[in-house]
Amino acid sequence: MGKLKSDIQRLRVRRQRVLDGKYNCIPFPFQRFRRLFPGIEQEKFLVITANQKIGKSKFTDYMLVYEPLFFSMEHPELKVKILYFTLEMSPSAKRDEFYCHLLYRLDNIRISPTDLRSTDQERPVDEKVLELLESERYKPYIDKFNEMVEFIDEDKNPTGINKRCRDYALSHGHLNFKEVDVVDPLDDSKITKRRVVDSDNPYTPDDPEEYRIVIVDNASNLALESGMKKMENIDKLAKYGIILRNQLKYIFVLIQHQAQAQEGIENQKLNKIKPSSDGLADCKTTTRDANFVLGLYSPYKYGLREYEGYDITKFGNFIRFMEVIEDRDYGASNNICPLFFDGAASTFAELPRADDKEGLERVYTYIQTLKQPKKKGVSFFIKSIKSLLNKKNG
């Protein structure tokens, strides 16, 4: 009864938080789909997968970096700390992506990281864009981002990643221990006391409102530990991820490619090109450890003209489908969320339903504006996709 009493108390506390207008998760950013998938709670393990160049890193950033940042700006009681192990891109490149997203979000300025960096000799970035990023209006968001997100590119192997995460947790909280009796295997009369981590309450954070997120991007780029093959290496990281989740209350996020064989001609003929648990590259056992496996799919990449009732020819590369591949908590497995995707601004938005012709026409019109050529030296200002999709998209 002791455990039941403490469990009921914990559940009552969570119920009261909701009644008081507080949150027990980071809400999922897509409102219609939120009815199936409410959000990301503490102590979860996510695998996010897609074929190459589909946008899985941008999707992860949108869902678990940008949206939590803006949400916490509006709800300061919710705090987020992200240890982001960026094994594919440099920290400065990740910050550039955020600046582009911020420009789009605050001022509807659509500019890609390539253009922000003045890559094209013919089209240097507008000085006004840089002045905006330095302005007082942008400062709180950029300060919050730099405080919230720590990009780490020096710890690249599973042991280094685990140590970095444990060091942060133990410098911002403490483990709870209990004593247990240990019987000498050679003499039953000899009993000693051993201090072990309390499995029922292993860790107490200094700030219980802080959501701690680990993002590893991506599994294939992990540095190999001594004597290990790639599969063993990824599996070792996943086992660390379980401990970080269960013992230290982390949200552990592993970005993982689909195997290149998934995109082969035979699979395309058999229509087996959607991301799947079986299609994970290098190590398939990570799904056993995960609470959720989310897949991102681009039918346009494979020349499909229609998918899930949507006319892909009208969307081109601006459409993605997120599928809940595995879900041990919410029962949302196999559900699909259609998304508008703009890689330049690293933004996603839930599309109108396939039978909402009026809503889809607004999106088609918006896409045509994106295809208009840019003028030399002039930033491209557009109307926000969110304002277009908010109409009749509840």
Distance CA 89, CA 320 (A): 22
Q: Which of 321, 325, 324, 265 is nearest to 298 (CA)?
A: 321
Q: How far is CA 251 from the centre of its chain?
A: 10
Distance CA 175, CA 196 (A): 10
User: CB under 8 Å to 277, separation ≥6 — which residues?
Assistant: 284, 287, 293, 325, 326
Tokens of 166: 């444990």
pLDDT score for 336 = 97
Query: Is omega for the bond preceding 218 within 30 degrees of 0, making it cis?
Result: yes
User: Is the CB of residue 323 less than 8 Å from the CB of residue 334?
Assistant: yes
Q: Which of 299, 300, 260 is nearest to 281 (CA)?
A: 260
For residue 384, the SS3 value is coil
**Alpha-carbon separation of residue 6 from 12, 44, 209, 285 (angstroms):** 10, 21, 20, 34
pLDDT score for 391 = 56
Distance CA 85, CA 241 (A): 13
- H-helix or E-strand spanning residue 48: strand 45-50
User: Is the CB of residue 360 less than 8 Å from the CB of residue 332?
Assistant: no
Distance CA 335, CA 25 (A): 20
Distance CA 250, CA 258 (A): 25
User: Is the CB of residue 297 less than 8 Å from the CB of residue 317?
Assistant: no
Q: Which residues does residue 175 pair with via DSSP β-bridges, in sequence order?
A: 203
CA triple 351-148-112, angle to 5 deg? 50
What DSSP assignment string belongs to 132-191? HHTSTTTHHHHHHHHHHEEEE-S--SHHHHHHHHHHHHHHSEEE-EEEEEEEETTEEEEE
Q: Which of 8, 62, 48, 75 is nearest to 211 (CA)?
A: 75
- Please report, as a single letter, which amino acid is at residue 381: F
pLDDT score for 14 = 95
Residuewise pLDDT in 10s, the chain (394 residues): 578 998 999 999 999 999 999 999 999 999 999 999 999 999 999 999 999 999 999 999 999 999 999 999 999 989 999 999 999 999 999 999 999 999 999 999 999 999 999 999 999 999 999 999 999 999 999 999 999 999 999 999 999 999 999 999 999 999 999 998 887 787 777 888 889 999 889 999 999 999 999 999 999 999 999 999 999 999 999 999 999 999 999 999 999 999 986 655 555 654 668 999 999 999 999 999 899 999 999 999 999 999 999 999 999 999 999 999 999 999 999 999 999 999 999 999 999 999 999 999 999 999 999 887 665 544 455 556 666 665 545 4
pLDDT score for 392 = 46
pTM, entire model = 0.92
pLDDT score for 267 = 59
User: Is the CB of residue 46 less than 8 Å from the CB of residue 291?
Assistant: yes
Distance CA 179, CA 246 (A): 20
Distance CA 138, CA 130 (A): 11
Distance CA 300, CA 55 (A): 13
pLDDT score for 263 = 57
Identify the residue whose tokens are 């990023």.
133
